[in-house]
Structure 1
Amino acid sequence: MMKIFLFFLFLIPLIFLKNIWFFIQYLMILLTLIFVFFNMSNFYVSMSYMFGIDYISYGLVILSFIICSLMMISSSKISFMQNSNYFIFLNLVLCISLVFVFSFINMFYMYLFFEFSLIPLLILIFGWGYQPERLISGLYLFFYTLFASLPLLLLILNFYLSFNSVFFNSYFGFFDGFIIHFCMNFAFLVKLPMFMFHFWLPKAHVEAPISGSMILAGLMLKIGGYGIIRFMYIYENIFLNYSYIWYSMSLVGSILVSMVCLIQGDMKCLIAYSSISHMGMCLMGLLSMTKLGLIGSYLMMISHGFCSSGLFCLANMSYERILSRSFYLNKGLMTYMPSMSFFWFIFCCFNMSCPPSLNFLSEIMILMSMIYYWSYSFFFIFFISFFSACFSFYLFSFTQHGKFHNMYSFSSCLVREYLLLSVHLIPLILVVLNFSLFFC
């Protein structure tokens, strides 16, 4: 693992060179290819200096590399600005901190970089956000994350004082108290975000630049699911006893948030709320504590990372041309940008979990695990799936059909934009073709 981080470390001095924008992207893709061919086994491998990679970290680290590279492709307008080098630096720091979170086997260091990833993200929102309200949304993000993670820090300190170890593969005795369960999960439930702790997400998404929205939807939400998977193995009995609390809130919340999507007037707002609905399903799969639920939730984290990030890119492409994200102005895009309608259609279909996408397989596995956990979940599942299809259809039909507000009726798209969307789309289909990997 150290070669990956040394590679990152030596990327940082390159930002002082001129015209380095595309070269950094090529190096990020090269780094992704190096990492893809890592030798993997069922448990931690490449262990050195408290780093370790297993199957759960492996997919999320690759997702981090790809999304961080795509962030720079999507923000090409910033490359012409004076502070473009500073933007690349923030992207690299954010990517490094996220990869650290996914590859540390030491709880304290994982917590440290879990908190540290907030700083470059806040600078991205404050520095390149769209509206003055970005200051409020940044404060929401900052205080929600900080307040929710303090109990987790106390728990990690308690582990160290009681057992002299903060490694995930250590033995931490037997406990059966709700307080420990709450401290262990609250930070990750807010980051996921679970319904009732989600108020920071729509605000942060709407005010963030496209790169901020991509990293939020693609990676920051995945830290929550990853943390729950990691801590679930420490006290399984507590999860078995108290999971029903979070399960119930997510079950009702996914339906309510899906209905909230149908009254949105802002494209980014709708995509942000759809993330909350999908992450609610992901959480329910994890809390069922079955193999199907765990694999389904993990695959949903990967698929949602690509699909939601792609939808934000599409919304940004419309915003760059029409200078509005409102549904009332973004109408008739099928006549305005006909070549993009195919991508809108595919991403909206994948967002509602249509085959042959990875979203479809992951949702089927989560639904099976939910029925196994509580048989009456079936009635709620029907509404969640129905409303999920409704808001995805709403997003596509409102933006693509109707009459465009201007007489001008055609806008060509750039090769860069096709590349950006294709790289989001290809993994969603290719992983399905290699699906047997997850059951070997």
Structure 2
Amino acid sequence: MMSIMFFLIMLIPLYVFNINFWLLSQFFYLFIFLSLLFFNSNFFFSKISYFFGLDFFSYNLILLSFLIGSLMLISMKDSVMINFYLFINLSLIFFLLVIFSTLNLLYMYMSFEFVLVPLVILILGWGYQPERLMAGMYLFFYTLVASLPLLVLILMLYNYNGSMFFDCMLYNSNFFLYHFIMMFVFMVKMPMYLVHFWLPKAHVQAPVSGSMILAGLMLKIGGYGLIRIMYIYEYLFIKYSYVWYSLSILGSVLIGLICLIQGDIKCLIAYSSVSHMGLVIMGLLTMSSWGLMGSYMLMLAHGFCSSGMFYMANLFYIRTSSRSFFINKGLLNYMPSSSMFWFLFCAFNMSCPPSLNFISELMILSSMLMFWVYSMFFFILISFMCACFSYYLYSYTQHGLFNSLYSFSSLNVLEYLCMFMHLIPLIFFPVIMLVMF
């Protein structure tokens, strides 16, 4: 793992020269992705070097990081200050790699904080409206204020265990405050309903690559953190999980209703992310193997699906100069070549059967029934609301009368490639799983 990190650090001098290294960066990201793709990972840490290693949970998230990073480069190919953007992109990927591969809780916390800096620079530097300043402040302070108490708790755990390695840390206590501090920081990052206000603001003001990495990777840090701390203090998790479970199950229903009153395409996709992350939280809190695997697969599926939807929303924005539902109407006539992709993304967003989303939500449903049998009624309501806003998102944008009847726009090959790369994993992951099992 350290060799990959040094590989990324050695790319930094390339961006000092006034040459467009976009294609070279793309090649290096895909080279690392393919080299990791043929590495066999298992449930125990492997490829260990200098306190970094891979296991089953971090392996796929690291692959996701490099793939989404590569797709981010495609989305901002003609951006201003391209070399500085490439450096910010590299910084984000590097810190995410440290978060997902470290064996040490303190390293993970430090990278968890550092990853905010390039993300805020990305929003402030390449965002659209002046409101991006407030969106950056929301993002920064929500995460910073929630995570500072965790540093104190990590130091206390070190004093108790004498180690900060995940495998050596174990804590038994009945004190709810410890549980609240450890959970709250990851719930804000997910985000859970009631602490989700930063997400729609950050998404709407961020450039397309900012939205892609927020939806594809930043929300996954919360889920990954929950998986890691679950093994540190299982007793507290079992005792108090009903608190977060109740908030998530009610929040997912309410967010579904909020989605139906949105007038901005990016806002609706951002709120739908909160609804899906609520399902991830519920699956993890059941502490069953099906819930854990279902939540993990839903994180991966949501990473591709939501990132692809934000990319397509940006394609509409480039051509119509608006993200409003009232302007983006009748796109079936205006951009007929994009309609099938938009339909597939909306269908996968509501977990239609051929996708990875469907399998993962089925596993989460079974684990929720084991945790609390009446969860079934809430799950049906959540799925129904998800289908409603996904259908609303597709039909409102594609049908109707476009504001200029004689206009027409086609997509270029690079945009098709980016959409295909978002869709292929969602379709082929279930096929690979069926072959394996």
TM-score (norm 1): 0.98
The one-letter code matched in structure 1 to 2:11 is L
- Could you give the per-residue CA deviations for residues 400-429 of structure 1, whole angstroms, max 9, x where no partner exists? 000001133310101010000000000111
- Could you give the per-residue CA deviations for residues 14-53 of structure 1, whole angstroms, max 9, x where no partner exists? 2234131112111111110011122322210011111011
C-alpha spacing 1:379/1:362, structure 2 compared with 1 (3 Å): same
The one-letter code matched in structure 2 to 1:431 is F
* SS of residue matched to 1:195: coil
The one-letter code matched in structure 2 to 1:92 is L
The one-letter code matched in structure 1 to 2:405 is M
Q: Describe how 1:144-183 pairs up with structure 2 within 5 A.
A: 144-183=142-181
Aligned to 1:65: 66
Alignment of 1:20 onto 2:30: no
C-alpha spacing 1:19/1:251, structure 2 compared with 1 (3 Å): same
Residue of 193, 206, 217 corresponding to 2:204: 206
Aligned to 1:371: 369
- Could you give the per-residue CA deviations for residues 180-224 of structure 1, whole angstroms, max 9, x where no partner exists? 111111100000000000000000000000010000000000000
Q: Which sections of structure 1, spanning at least 5 residues, go unmatched? A: none
Cα distance, 1:268 vs structure 2: 0.1
Aligned to 2:213: 215
Aligned to 2:325: 327
The one-letter code matched in structure 2 to 1:19 is N
How far, CA to CA, are the matches of 1:120 and 1:198 in structure 2? 21
How far, CA to CA, are the matches of 2:280 and 2:146 in structure 1? 20
How far, CA to CA, are the matches of 1:15 and 1:426 in structure 2? 31
The one-letter code matched in structure 2 to 1:7 is F
How far, CA to CA, are the matches of 2:53 and 2:407 in structure 1? 53
Alignment of 1:48 onto 2:46: no
How far, CA to CA, are the matches of 2:3 and 2:434 in structure 1? 30
C-alpha spacing 1:437/1:5, structure 2 compared with 1 (3 Å): farther
Q: Describe how 1:20-419 pairs up with structure 2 within 5 A.
A: 20-78=21-79, 81=80, 83-419=81-417
8 Å Cα contact 2:30/2:67 also seen in 1: yes
The one-letter code matched in structure 1 to 2:56 is Y
* SS of residue matched to 2:53: strand
Q: Describe how 1:5-16 pairs up with structure 2 within 5 A.
A: 5-16=5-16
The one-letter code matched in structure 2 to 1:63 is L
* SS of residue matched to 2:354: coil
How far, CA to CA, are the matches of 1:438 and 1:175 in structure 2? 40
How far, CA to CA, are the matches of 2:372 and 2:158 in structure 1? 36
The one-letter code matched in structure 2 to 1:61 is I
How far, CA to CA, are the matches of 2:29 and 2:49 in structure 1? 22
Q: CA RMSD in A?
A: 1.1
The one-letter code matched in structure 2 to 1:150 is L
The one-letter code matched in structure 1 to 2:9 is L
* SS of residue matched to 1:411: coil
* SS of residue matched to 2:394: helix
How far, CA to CA, are the matches of 1:283 and 1:407 in structure 2? 45
How far, CA to CA, are the matches of 2:349 and 2:123 in structure 1? 25
- Could you give the per-residue CA deviations for residues 35-83 of structure 1, whole angstroms, max 9, x where no partner exists? 11223222100111110110000010000000011001011220xx3x1
C-alpha spacing 1:217/1:438, structure 2 compared with 1 (3 Å): farther
How far, CA to CA, are the matches of 1:336 and 1:437 in structure 2? 40
The one-letter code matched in structure 2 to 1:217 is A
8 Å Cα contact 1:68/1:95 also seen in 2: yes
8 Å Cα contact 2:132/2:206 also seen in 1: yes
Structure 1 stretches (4+) deviating beyond 3 angstroms? 436-439
* SS of residue matched to 2:249: helix
How far, CA to CA, are the matches of 1:194 and 1:436 in structure 2? 32
How far, CA to CA, are the matches of 1:173 and 1:56 in structure 2? 22
How far, CA to CA, are the matches of 2:436 and 2:403 in structure 1? 48
How far, CA to CA, are the matches of 1:336 and 1:433 in structure 2? 34
C-alpha spacing 1:53/1:438, structure 2 compared with 1 (3 Å): farther
How far, CA to CA, are the matches of 2:104 and 2:160 in structure 1? 16
8 Å Cα contact 2:142/2:188 also seen in 1: yes
The one-letter code matched in structure 2 to 1:71 is M
How far, CA to CA, are the matches of 1:28 and 1:156 in structure 2? 33
How far, CA to CA, are the matches of 2:126 and 2:421 in structure 1? 24
* SS of residue matched to 2:361: helix
8 Å Cα contact 2:330/2:400 also seen in 1: yes
Cα distance, 1:436 vs structure 2: 5.2
How far, CA to CA, are the matches of 1:321 and 1:434 in structure 2? 37
Aligned to 2:429: 431
* SS of residue matched to 1:413: coil
How far, CA to CA, are the matches of 2:169 and 2:59 in structure 1? 24
Cα distance, 1:173 vs structure 2: 4.0
How far, CA to CA, are the matches of 1:19 and 1:87 in structure 2? 11
C-alpha spacing 1:438/1:175, structure 2 compared with 1 (3 Å): farther
- Could you give the per-residue CA deviations for residues 95-119 of structure 1, whole angstroms, max 9, x where no partner exists? 0001110000100000000000000
Cα distance, 1:438 vs structure 2: 8.2
Equivalent residues, number: 436
8 Å Cα contact 1:295/1:438 also seen in 2: no
Q: Which sections of structure 2, spanning at least 5 residues, go unmatched? A: none
- Could you give the per-residue CA deviations for residues 219-256 of structure 1, whole angstroms, max 9, x where no partner exists? 00000000000000011111100000000000000000
Cα distance, 1:172 vs structure 2: 2.6
Aligned to 2:4: 4
Cα distance, 1:358 vs structure 2: 0.3
Cα distance, 1:4 vs structure 2: 1.0
How far, CA to CA, are the matches of 1:140 and 1:108 in structure 2? 24
How far, CA to CA, are the matches of 2:135 and 2:356 in structure 1? 32
How far, CA to CA, are the matches of 1:301 and 1:266 in structure 2? 24
* SS of residue matched to 2:144: helix
